[in-house]
């Protein structure tokens, strides 16, 4: 069996890291605090999160997707109850190559939640 070990894989010019544009790896992910002052905990290809009101957020990408045919996976964890995962979903807000809107519901109502997660798969522009 072969093994490849590397610290950095450079682009063809040798001037920077390889950019994943056509592979199947997630091209964006974010873990953020959705209560109080919204704050990103960890991310890849996310420039910012916009708080659109109770339980509603926009994820703004650093590098746009090639089109709106990417997939967005969304989840949450309500740390205050440790058991209530609510229902987290995309909603009919902004859905473009530059950003996606997500929402969190508990018992049929929009609510903020302590931890939100999202990952996107698709081709970057």
Question: Is-contact 71 121, C-beta < 8 A?
Answer: yes
* Nearest-angstrom CA–CA distance, 105 and 84: 11
> What is the per-residue pLDDT for 67?
94
> What is the per-residue pLDDT for 15?
79
Question: Is-contact 40 72, C-beta < 8 A?
Answer: no
pLDDT tens for residues 53-70? Answer: 999 999 999 999 999 999
- Whether the predicted pLDDT of 6 surpasses 70: yes
The encoded tokens of residue 124 equal: 């970057």
Listed by start position, the domains of the chain span: 28-121
> What is the per-residue pLDDT for 3?
84
Q: Render the burial of 44-66: b for 16+ CB within 10 Å, e for the rest.
A: ebbeebebbeebbbbbbbeeebe
pTM, to two decimals = 0.77
> What is the per-residue pLDDT for 107?
76
> What is the per-residue pLDDT for 5?
79
- Whether the predicted pLDDT of 87 surpasses 70: no
- In angstroms, how far is CA 81 from the centroid of its own chain? 23
- Whether the predicted pLDDT of 108 surpasses 70: yes
Q: Report the pLDDT averaged over residues 5-27.
A: 75
**Mean of the per-residue pLDDT values for the chain?**
84
> What is the per-residue pLDDT for 98?
96
* Nearest-angstrom CA–CA distance, 115 and 41: 9
């Amino acid at each position: 069996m072969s093994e490849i070990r590397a610290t950095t894989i450079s682009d063809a010019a040798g001037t920077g890291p390889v950019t994943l544009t056509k592979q199947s790896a997630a091209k964006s992910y974010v873990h953020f605090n959705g209560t109080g002052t919204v704050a990103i905990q960890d991310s890849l290809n996310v420039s910012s999160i916009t708080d659109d009101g109770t339980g509603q957020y926009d994820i703004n990408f650093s590098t746009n997707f090639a089109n709106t045919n990417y997939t967005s996976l969304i989840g949450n964890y309500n740390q205050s109850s440790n058991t209530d995962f609510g229902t987290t979903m995309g909603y009919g807000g902004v859905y473009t190559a530059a950003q996606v809107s997500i929402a969190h519901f508990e018992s049929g109502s929009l609510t903020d939640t302590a931890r939100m997660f999202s990952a996107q798969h698709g081709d970057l522009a």
